[in-house]
Each structure stands twice: as structure tokens, then as C-alpha cells.
């Protein structure tokens, strides 16, 4: 490698320097060097301070060009040359080069090799950032996989195997496993949310999340309802999922809903408000109409559907019909 670097230097100084950088970080990786040694190597080779910041894993290392680890309290400058630890991820490793210019070839090689070595150390010592490896997620959610394999996959995903977690199933996308924080931000889009369970019970949370997803809606006038549904909140309603087959002929009450909605475009949003609020006045406020207007709409809807909507039994039947309408969709 030294001979190759010498030959390349004679032809192209940058190419020779890049080969020496590669060899340097290869030696650090073979020696299983730690994070500080890797960041120090980047700083010394680049001749400027280097900084590693991984918020997810609470890692912050800054090393001066002279090799001393020292914090200066200054925020990261987005203009600095930088590299992410994973493809498509946010920058996590910076060279504090003040001039605003494109990174040199040598800087780019330093960042690429150092970031790769840092990623391996973090994966080995602190676990991978949560839920971004489809094969590992599949293993954790596979009830037929050995417990040891599922626990190993969970640790590789960065999950705390002693803490509860839950599964999120989006309408479009892969399932995600997240820690069961009570104050966690609700997910975006249409998502089914499984119960918080021990890691080894996550296949059950996954099954619940898939059922919960079937109860979600677009939240439009023609498909009113919540975009995020928690399995914990369904209770016995979840049993309907076993009775209504997606894509099959809908139950009679669902067929009546569809026929009525075709005759009155306002009907589905109005009926969803009636079924999901505590009173008719609250339903009128929900859809921003006068109470008397709501009464007129309900009278017309009762005529179209063929059953009463202003009795406890009628509202219960309506709620079931709306739920089955979601479940009947392909």
C-alpha cells in the first residue's frame, strides 16, 4: 500500500493522499479502534477539528487538529464538509473547515472512511438506530422464529429488550417497531397501532396493528374517520375483522350505506359525526351545521337507510355499519 501511495503521489498528490487515508482507517478498523480514535484520525488527517454527533445514540465527540479532545460550545455549521452514517441519513460527522467550498478529494475520502468505521463501532457497541432494517424487523415479528433469534434481532434494531414496544403498520410502507413511550408523537398518515407488549410478544402487536389499520380512513367527506387507530381502543369491535372479508360482498347495512351515500354526498360525513360524538348538538358542531339542519339530514338518511338513527339502538347499528364499511374495502 505504501508503494502504491508513493507511485500515485508522483502522478497525482490527491490520489496518493487518498490511498494513505484508506490504509490509515483500515488499520484502525482492524485494531477495533474506538470512536474517539476514529474522530481523532479524521481531525489529524484533515488538519482541522472533526466532530461526531449522533443524537439518536447520544454520542458527541469533538477532536482538535492537534489530536486533543476539546469542546468549544459552537453549533455545527451546515457549510462544513460532512458525511452521514447511513445512506440517506442526516450528517453526523463534520470537518470544521471554515472556507465555504466543495470538499476536496482528500476530505471526501476522510469523511467516507471515517463514517464507515464509526458506523461499525456504533452498531457493535451501542446498537443500530431503531427499526430501519427490514430483515431484522421481519425476524422480530416472526412468531415461528426462535426466541434467541428474535431477541438478537431486537437488540440489533436498538430496542431495549427489557422494555415494552409496539408495532406501527402504515397503509403504504413497511411495519415499524417503536418503544412504547406514552408521550410519543402520533404517526402521520393512515396507520394501525398495536398494543405495547414485551419484545417477544411483538408478533401479537403486529397482528393487532394490521387489524387496526383496516379501521382507518382517509378523513375525507367520502371516507370519514380517523387516520390512526390504536388496537387498544377497539375492544370487542376488533372481532368484526374476523367476520367481514375484504373485497367480498359487503354486509347488507354496508350496501345500504353505499347506496344512500350515492344519493346524498353529505351523508357519510354527517353519519360519522353522529356516530362518533356524544350528542346530536355535538355532531352538528362537528360538521358545522345548525342543529335543525342536522335533524333534517337525519330524517332523510333514515328514509334512505331504512332504520332509525336517533335511538340508542339505531346509533349502535350505524356505528357497526360504518366500521364494517372500512373492513369491507379491498
In a domain, 20, yes or no: yes
**What does the pLDDT read at residue 9?**
44
- Do 94 and 28 have their domain in common? yes
- Do 199 and 283 have their domain in common? no
**What does the pLDDT read at residue 258?**
95
Q: What is the pLDDT of residues 277-313, one digit of tens each?
A: 999 999 899 999 999 999 999 999 999 999 999 999 9
In a domain, 304, yes or no: yes
Mean residue pLDDT across the chain: 88
Q: What span, in angstroms and rounded, lies between the C-alpha atoms of 171 and 227?
A: 10
**What does the pLDDT read at residue 183?**
58
Grid cell digits, residue 172: 403504504
- Do 45 and 91 have their domain in common? yes
The torsion of the CA quartet 37, 42, 46, 47, rounded to 10 degrees, works out to: -30
Q: What is the pLDDT of residues 108-126, one digit of tens each?
A: 889 999 999 998 888 777 7
- Do 114 and 151 have their domain in common? no
DSSP for 278-312, written as a single string: SSHHHHHHHTT--HHHHHHHHHHHHHHHSS-SSSH
pTM of the full structure: 0.61
- Do 251 and 315 have their domain in common? yes
Number of domains in the chain: 3
Q: What is the pLDDT of residues 156-210, one digit of tens each?
A: 888 888 889 999 999 988 899 988 876 567 678 899 999 999 999 999 999 999 9
- Do 116 and 143 have their domain in common? no
- Do 175 and 283 have their domain in common? no
Q: What is the pLDDT of residues 252-281, one digit of tens each?
A: 999 999 999 999 999 999 999 999 999 999
**What does the pLDDT read at residue 296?**
94
- Do 119 and 138 have their domain in common? no
Burial 87-111 (b: 16+ CB within 10 A, else e): eeeebbbbbbbeeeeebbebbbbbb
**What does the pLDDT read at residue 106?**
86
In a domain, 318, yes or no: yes
How would residue 103 be classed by pLDDT, with cut points 50, 70 and 90?
A: low
In a domain, 71, yes or no: yes
**What does the pLDDT read at residue 102?**
62
Nearest to 232 by CA among 270, 284, 195, 283: 195
Q: Which helix (H) or strand (E) holds 112?
A: helix 105-125
In a domain, 232, yes or no: no
- Do 146 and 50 have their domain in common? no
- Do 35 and 94 have their domain in common? yes
**What does the pLDDT read at residue 100?**
52
Q: What is the pLDDT of residues 198-235, one digit of tens each?
A: 999 999 999 999 999 999 999 999 999 999 999 999 99
In a domain, 84, yes or no: yes
Nearest to 167 by CA among 115, 210, 121, 124: 210
In a domain, 58, yes or no: yes
Q: What is the pLDDT of residues 18-69, one digit of tens each?
A: 778 888 898 998 888 899 999 999 999 999 999 999 887 788 999 999 999 9
- Do 98 and 161 have their domain in common? no
- Do 6 and 118 have their domain in common? yes
Nearest to 178 by CA among 162, 196, 190: 196
In a domain, 56, yes or no: yes
The residue segments making up the domain with residue 320 are 243-328
φ/ψ of 83, rounded to 5, equals -145, 145
Write the CATH number for 260. Answer: 1.10.10.2840
**Residues 307, 316 contacting (CB under 8 angstroms):** no
Label residue 289 exposed, middle or buried (CB < 10 Å: 0-12, 13-18, 19+): middle
Amino acid at each position: 500500500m505504501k508503494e502504491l501511495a508513493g507511485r500515485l503521489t508522483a502522478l497525482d498528490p490527491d490520489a496518493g493522499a487518498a490511498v494513505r487515508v484508506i490504509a490509515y482507517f483500515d488499520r484502525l478498523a482492524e485494531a477495533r479502534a474506538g470512536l474517539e480514535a476514529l474522530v481523532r484520525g479524521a481531525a489529524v488527517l484533515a488538519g482541522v477539528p472533526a466532530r461526531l454527533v449522533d443524537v439518536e445514540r447520544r454520542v458527541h465527540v469533538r477532536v482538535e487538529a492537534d489530536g486533543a479532545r476539546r469542546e468549544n460550545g459552537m453549533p455545527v455549521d451546515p457549510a462544513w464538509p460532512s458525511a452521514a452514517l447511513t445512506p440517506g441519513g442526516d450528517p453526523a460527522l463534520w470537518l470544521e473547515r471554515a472556507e465555504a467550498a466543495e470538499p476536496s478529494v482528500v476530505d471526501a475520502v476522510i469523511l467516507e472512511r471515517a463514517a464507515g468505521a464509526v458506523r461499525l463501532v456504533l452498531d457493535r457497541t451501542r446498537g443500530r438506530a431503531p427499526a430501519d432494517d427490514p430483515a431484522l424487523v421481519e425476524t422480530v415479528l416472526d412468531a415461528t422464529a426462535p426466541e434467541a433469534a428474535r431477541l438478537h434481532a431486537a437488540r440489533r434494531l436498538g430496542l431495549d429488550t427489557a422494555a415494552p414496544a409496539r408495532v406501527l403498520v402504515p397503509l403504504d410502507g413497511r411495519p415499524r417497531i417503536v418503544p412504547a413511550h406514552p408521550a410519543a408523537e402520533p404517526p402521520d398518515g393512515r396507520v394501525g397501532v398495536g398494543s405495547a407488549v414485551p419484545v417477544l410478544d411483538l408478533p401479537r402487536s403486529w397482528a393487532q396493528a394490521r387489524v387496526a389499520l383496516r379501521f382507518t380512513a382517509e378523513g375525507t367527506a367520502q371516507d370519514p374517520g380517523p387516520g390512526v387507530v390504536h388496537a387498544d381502543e377497539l375492544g370487542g369491535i376488533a372481532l368484526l375483522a374476523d367476520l367481514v372479508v375484504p373485497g367480498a360482498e359487503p354486509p347488507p347495512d354496508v350496501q345500504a350505506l353505499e347506496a344512500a351515500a350515492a344519493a346524498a354526498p353529505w351523508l357519510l360525513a354527517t353519519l360519522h359525526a353522529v356516530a362518533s360524538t356524544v350528542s346530536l348538538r355535538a355532531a352538528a358542531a362537528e360538521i358545522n351545521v345548525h342543529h335543525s339542519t342536522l335533524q333534517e339530514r337525519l330524517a332523510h338518511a333514515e328514509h334512505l337507510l331504512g332504520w332509525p338513527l336517533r335511538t340508542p339502538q339505531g346509533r349502535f347499528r350505524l356505528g357497526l355499519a360504518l366500521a364494517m364499511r372500512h373492513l369491507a374495502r379491498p
